[in-house]
A = this chain, B = another copy of it.
Amino acid sequence: MSATPISAARVETELRALLGKGVLDSGQTAPLLVDQRGLYRGRPLAVVQPASVAEVAAVLRWAHGHGIGVVPQGGNTGYCGGATPDESGRQLLLLLRGLNRIREVDAENFSLTAEAGCTLAQVQQAAAAVGRLFPLSLGSEHSCQIGGNLATNAGGLNVLRYGMTRDLTLGVEAVLADGRIYEGLNTLRKDNTGYDLTSLLIGSEGTLAVITAAALKLWPATAASATAMIGLRDVPSAIQLLALLQAAASSRLTSFELMPRTAVDLASRYVDGVRDPLTLAHPWYLLCELRSSAAESLDEMLIQALGSDAAQALIAEAALAVGERQRADFWRLRESVPAAQRRAGASLKHDISVPLTAVAGFIDAVDRWVAQEIPDGMLVCYGHAGDGNLHCNVSSRPGVDLQTFRRHEEPLKRFVHDTVASLHGSISAEHGIGRLKVDELQRYAPPVELALMRRIKQALDPSGIMNPGKVL
């Protein structure tokens, strides 16, 4: 960083000259300085909230001139501390929430252009208002912002059918490290004019540029759906069932979520209104959903698929959601697992993916290790099994002292990530690297890959002011 020294008073004066009320008082900002999981508490040089792309550009030009690090923040719902400034008091926290307009909705072109600070729910609603679907769906959709979804390439509940955020994006507008504006907001399905800058900026967690707006893909609105909760003996049955359902339902299969008995127990116990929807206790539960924009009978299709001889050989018990209320109940069970884990005590978390072929072996290996090494904990390994993406968490058992339990954190992480690496998996499937996993990325990524990333970082942010200390 080629820093021109600057006093605190001058910071305030110069930023006020650029942004006026867009420089926040410290009384307004306390909750923004702690990340979602409470892992980090930042101390920023200042907190700014620009009201336009031009103001974001002005902030970046200013920061670039002074060699000051800039940390962009959306809804502050990330799991890896990517949107929290460090403790140095020298980084600027840049809030995108002032850029919250839906700029354009084009139903005929199946596209929508939103500013970074729009909440995901706001984007979903703007699409729904014209009979279209924006399929990204996350537990935090009412508070997370689309800019943060792009910065972290968010995944969520419908990846199996629609892909990650990168797959849902047609183009971006972004402010570069030197304050120039990259105007890449095209709404084209096909564009082979040079390098894929859109995909590069998506998932770069603010370390290459600040995304200020995105052109997003829309789909026809959902006209029919069918949802089932399925009890299974083991994980291999789930993976075999996935292939059967994908063949039988084609691309209508939108969600395929796996939960162990432990997750169902925790959610039923700690979250009001959640109960086990099956009559027997099973080692594994599967929540699967079909959707279609055509007005077709997906319940019948799902019943036939689950009723086939091949499927029946895998399924211990199955319940089809009858009506919207029961469907909501099934989903509440799935979506309550993180909250239940929080209420139950400590939770040691990992967001991993492995090839589908390796899912069962991975869970088995971790299960055996946890049983032996963490007697005061229990494995709660659940998630987007259709994508090979598991939230491989270990919760403390009732009555266990939380600080004592934390001693498992490092050895567990090492075992989980070593196992993932041996299976050619990913140590961060959908949450990103942020600050939390910088060392892990250095440990597991091949040196050539790290070298390429560093060269790109150096090329786009030569003075290193973009979200310093994150990702690399």
Contact = CB atoms under 8 A, between A and B. Distances in A.
Interface of A: 106-111, 152-153, 155, 159-161, 163-164, 166-167, 176, 180-184, 186-197, 199-200, 202-204, 208, 219-221, 223, 239, 243, 246-252, 292-294, 301, 353-357, 384, 387-389, 424-433, 437, 441, 444-446, 448-449, 451-453, 455-456, 458-460, 471-472
Given A200-B200, A247-B220, A106 B459 contact: no
B446 A188 contact: no
Contacts of A196: 153, 166, 196, 199-200, 202-203
A107 B355 CA distance: 11
A183 B246 contact: no
A196 B196 CA distance: 10
B460 A452 contact: yes
A189 B110 contact: no
A188 B355 contact: yes
A169 to B, nearest CB: 11
Nearest to A243: B108
Contacts of A188: 353-355, 388, 424-426, 429
21 contacts: A106-B357, A108-B357, A155-B190, A159-B189, A164-B190, A164-B192, A176-B452, A188-B353, A188-B388, A188-B424, A189-B388, A190-B353, A191-B428, A195-B204, A195-B208, A199-B200, A220-B246, A247-B293, A248-B293, A251-B252, A251-B293
A430 B190 contact: yes
B429 A153 contact: no
A197 B458 contact: no
Given A190-B388, A192-B429, A196-B202, 17 more contacts: A108-B243, A159-B189, A181-B448, A183-B449, A186-B426, A188-B354, A188-B388, A189-B389, A190-B430, A193-B428, A196-B200, A219-B246, A220-B246, A223-B247, A246-B293, A250-B252, A251-B252
A355 B106 contact: yes
B293 A190 contact: no
Given A203-B195, A430-B190, A293 B250 contact: yes
Nearest to A291: B250
B195 A456 contact: yes
Given A108-B357, A166-B196, A389 B190 contact: yes
Contacts of A193: 426-428, 433, 437, 441, 444-445
Contacts of A197: 449, 452-453
A449 B199 contact: no
Contacts of A239: 108
A246 B453 CA distance: 39
Contacts of A180: 448, 451
Nearest to A446: B183
Contacts of A164: 190, 192
Contacts of A354: 188
